[in-house]
């Protein structure tokens, strides 16, 4: 298969196929400051130097850590840099992730992102759902808050995260959706129907956890026998293999793998140049 290097659409924007997820620049469990702040700053600057123009962030990463790092490393921002944030969650003092998704809370979080990133408007903000598996009355109110923020010039485009297909179809009745960000990787394809709906509608699908996420973490992906064997056969790393597989799924897929070191960053970005053969695709698709 051919290299995946051509820009892809993220709402009205054009971005590189492999972006950068800044979540892992925090301390353990996405909580607290990084162990090496200087390295975190270096990773962000190297990402942009290597052509990344899509960075995913959130005020609740840390909390209040990642946006500060992005601002310190990159402000004033390159004109083509698309910063995508998300709202709908918060962290308590123990690090627990809690809902923060009432309409007034969403507005407050958007304003906090603008303040810490020092921008007048954000290109895209994702509404991260924390409660219902299906659309409910709160979802309409949440969409209303996002639409108001867009109409007031605080954000340019609306995205959704952690949603079902029903959420997507319901939201599209009220507003265009720039992107959907759901958990999805080679061993967890529960969001396959959402990906397919996004593909049909030309909506960017941005999987999070591409290298493994949650309780099992990367072991569920990068240490799977099939992944290790195919990566070894092709002379690439397991991470590069599964990222390249995801890029080949559809033209609307955008990746945001995280990295806390420059070496890991470069490894991930090189996935766009990996060529998969039919054997590798067959093995991965059958997992």
For 237, residues 6+ apart whose C-beta sits below 8 A from its C-beta are 231, 267
| Overall domain count for the chain | 1
User: Is the residue at 2 inside a domain?
Assistant: no
**Can you tell me which residue has the tokens 């639409």?**
147
DSSP state of 208: B
61 tagged catalytic: yes
Tokens read off for 211? 């290298």
Is the confidence at residue 3, as pLDDT, over 80? no
User: Which residue in 20, 61, 77, 184 is the catalytic one?
Assistant: 61
pLDDT more than 90, % of the chain? 92
Domain assignment present for 1: no
- Whether residue 139 is contained in a domain is answered as yes
Q: Is residue 3, in this structure, part of any structural domain at all?
A: no
Q: What is the CATH number of the domain that holds 143?
A: 3.20.20.100
- pLDDT tens digits for range 28-75: 999 999 999 999 999 999 999 999 999 999 999 999 999 999 999 999
| 111, 198, 213, 236 from 216: Cα distances, Å | 34, 27, 7, 23
Residue 150 pLDDT > 90, yes or no?
Answer: yes
This prediction has a pTM of 0.95
Q: What is the pLDDT of residues 260-286, one digit of tens each?
A: 999 999 999 999 999 999 999 999 999
What is the domain extent for residue 157?
Answer: 8-285
- Does the residue 156 lie in any domain? yes
């Amino acid at each position: 298969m051919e290299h995946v290097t051509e820009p892809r659409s993220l709402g009205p924007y054009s971005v590189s196929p492999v972006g950068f997820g800044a979540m892992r620049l925090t301390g353990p469990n996405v909580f607290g400051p990084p162990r090496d702040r200087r390295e975190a700053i270096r990773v962000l600057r190297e990402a942009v130097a290597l052509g990344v123009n899509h960075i995913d962030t959130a005020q609740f990463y840390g909390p209040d850590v990642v946006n500060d790092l992005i601002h310190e490393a990159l402000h004033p921002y390159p004109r083509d840099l698309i910063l995508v944030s998300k709202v709908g969650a918060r962290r308590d003092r123990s690090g627990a992730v809690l809902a923060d998704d009432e309409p007034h809370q969403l507005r407050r979080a958007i304003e906090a992102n603008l303040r810490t990133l020092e921008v007048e408007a954000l290109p895209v903000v994702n509404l991260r759902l924390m409660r219902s598996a299906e659309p409910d009355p709160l979802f309409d109110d949440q969409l209303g808050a996002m639409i108001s923020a867009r109409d007031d010039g605080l954000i340019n485009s609306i995205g959704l995260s952690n949603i079902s297909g029903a959420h997507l179809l319901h939201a599209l009745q009220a507003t265009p959706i720039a992107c959907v960000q759901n958990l999805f990787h080679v061993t967890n394809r529960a969001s396959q129907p959402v990906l397919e709906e996004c593909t049909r509608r030309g909506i960017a699908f941005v999987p999070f956890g591409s290298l493994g996420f949650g309780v099992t973490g990367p072991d569920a992906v990068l240490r799977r026998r099939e992944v290790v064997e195919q990566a070894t056969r092709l002379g690439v790393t397991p991470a590069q293999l599964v990222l390249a597989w995801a890029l080949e799924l559809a033209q609307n897929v955008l990746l945001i793998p995280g990295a806390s070191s420059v070496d890991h960053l470069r490894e991930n970005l090189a996935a766009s140049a990996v060529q998969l053969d039919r054997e590798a695709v067959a093995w991965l698709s059958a997992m």
